[in-house]
Amino acid sequence: MGQLFGIDNDMDWLDLGNGVRRKLMSHNEQLMVVKVRFEQGAVGEPHAHPHVQISYVSSGKFSYSIAGEERILVVGDTCIVPPNVLHGCVCLEAGELIDSFTPSRTDFLDTR
């Protein structure tokens, strides 16, 4: 069934190193919401996965790259990453992304 409620104060951050932390929020088999915090200068290394991803900038400023196209994203901006497309980001001003994945990132469940 997954995790029906993601109560922010009850959830723990996972330190991914190099100024990046992740907090797994609500999820089921079809959908997952994750918070990712970045210190200024931290890098979301370029990678690809079979999930569709939407990122929402809740704070900070990011240089985001999807399939070789780069854009600067600020609070309120979003982007969508198709399956198996190379993407990554550099945090220009400390901030947080709210990422949604479909289907759920089962690999994240193993590391929380």
- Contact call for residues 102 and 34 (beta carbons, < 8 A): no
- Contact call for residues 95 and 107 (beta carbons, < 8 A): no
| Residue 61: alpha-carbon gap to chain centroid | 14
CA distance 30 to 48: 18
Q: If you write DSSP's letter for every residue of 23-87 in order, what string do you get? A: EEEEE-SS-EEEEEEE-TT-EEEEE--SSEEEEEEEEEEEEEEETTEEEEEETT-EEEE-TT--E
Q: What is the pTM of this model?
A: 0.94
Report pLDDT for 2. Answer: 81
Question: Tell me: the pLDDT tens digits for 64-95?
Answer: 999 999 999 999 999 999 999 999 999 999 99
- Element containing residue 111 per DSSP (H, E): none
- Please, which pLDDT band fits residue 112 given cuts at 50, 70 and 90? low
Compute the average pLDDT of residues 19-38.
Answer: 96
Which CATH class for the 32-109 domain?
Answer: mainly beta
